[in-house]
Structure 1
């Protein structure tokens, strides 16, 4: 099957199944979108053009439609099988979703045409991360909103995740490194626009069971390796290129 990106790292059969599961939609996607909405410090635009970069099988479409009521919803993915599932999901929901077979490092959209770019658990799959982030910057309008939710290398590089899923390990980053990359591109955000969720499924060594049973004490923020980072960042209204 032809991929839209030469650097695409194909997911495992288990991973493909998991991305259409109830756990993924309700315990991962829904929680992330709710958290990201809480990180936005000014009202998002009404009837926005919204791009889901790495839309997978379209399980985000209903949640994004409910949260932002986009006038135009675009789903982008490099895997044609996933896009087939996305097309079926949009039809099932009765939503008009424009689907693009494309790599995030080369988005087939004009400059400054997107109001909100949603990138959820996509970056750790990408080999050309810097190019992808530059493309996010390019397609976002000045003042546009980047909703970025990602797993860090401390989660991806655990035996459970390496056994069940497939990722390009050489590009994995810590929460701090992802934040530095966003700032380096020019995106603006403050502490109030960032969260570090410590969810049960992201504790890959034991999924939080030892803490739940009282056998170990949870490490407080600042004393643990963060496994997740969520950011609501903006492209400034005026940039060096404007």
Structure 2
């Protein structure tokens, strides 16, 4: 495991104490993370691997082992703007079968060169980001030609629901509907055919 730090201005809303607890539970891993990964993986050619993977908003690192299992990367670079990334995700990074590099970085202003990654994985991260269009443009910039964005997100109606507003914390003024997210992805330059869109869950 490698660790480095890239300092930049944070443009996100930090999670509540309850939210941070929930992100470490089996419910989150099995019912949210694993379910989304399985749904996204079905849209890719069977057995396709990705050598260099960027995990944006990695949180506690529960995604590392699952990304390694699904895509056999040589390296996962995991970024999160919240302080204490090593303490939160270090154990899961060390246990991952591939190299994991932890970086404190802002998705809307990343420090990577153009065309660095074969895949960008963004799972339940965007609703915390304030500068969403800038972050999506950065995803496009750091992907290699032919690279893949795996994007799974909760939409405005769900984020604005009363239970979510009581238990979690988000920048409410930037939340988007599903069509608005799709428009933003395409506007950033991504090819997004309808066959690569899935809206099966209540949070979408």
Length-normalised TM-score, structure 1: 0.78
Asked whether the 8 Å contact 2:75–2:98 carries over to 1, the reply is no
Q: 1:93 to 1:115 in 2, by over 3 A?
A: closer
CA distance in structure 2 between the partners assigned to 1:33 and 1:168 by the alignment: 25
* 1:7 matched residue in structure 2: 11
**Residue in structure 2 matched with residue 220 of structure 1 by the alignment:** none
3-state SS, counterpart of residue 7 of structure 1: coil
Of the two, which has the highest radius of gyration?
1
Residues 187-236 of structure 1 deviation map (CA, whole Å, 9 limit, x = unaligned) = 002111110022xxx4xxxxxxxxxxxxxxxxxxxxxxxx32xxxxxxxx
4+ runs of 1 displaced by more than 6 Å? none
2:175 matches 1:168: no
| 1:65 equivalent in structure 2 | 68
2:10 and 2:81 in contact (8 A); partners too: no
Say which SS state the counterpart of residue 80 (structure 1) adopts: coil
RMSD: 1.6
Q: Which residue of 2 aligns with 1:222?
A: none
1:35, distance to aligned residue in structure 2 (A): 0.3
For 2:128, the equivalent position in structure 1 comes to 125
- Note if 1:103 corresponds to 2:78: no
Provide the TM-score with structure 2 as the length reference: 0.91
The number of residues matched between the two structures is: 198
Deviation at 1:95? 4.3
1:186 shift after superposition: 1.2
Residue in structure 1 matching 2:36, options 20, 23, 32: 32
Q: Which 5+ residue runs of structure 1 have no aligned equivalent?
A: 203-226, 229-242
1:67-97 C-alpha deviation (Å, 9 max, x unpaired): 0000111101001234422112122345420
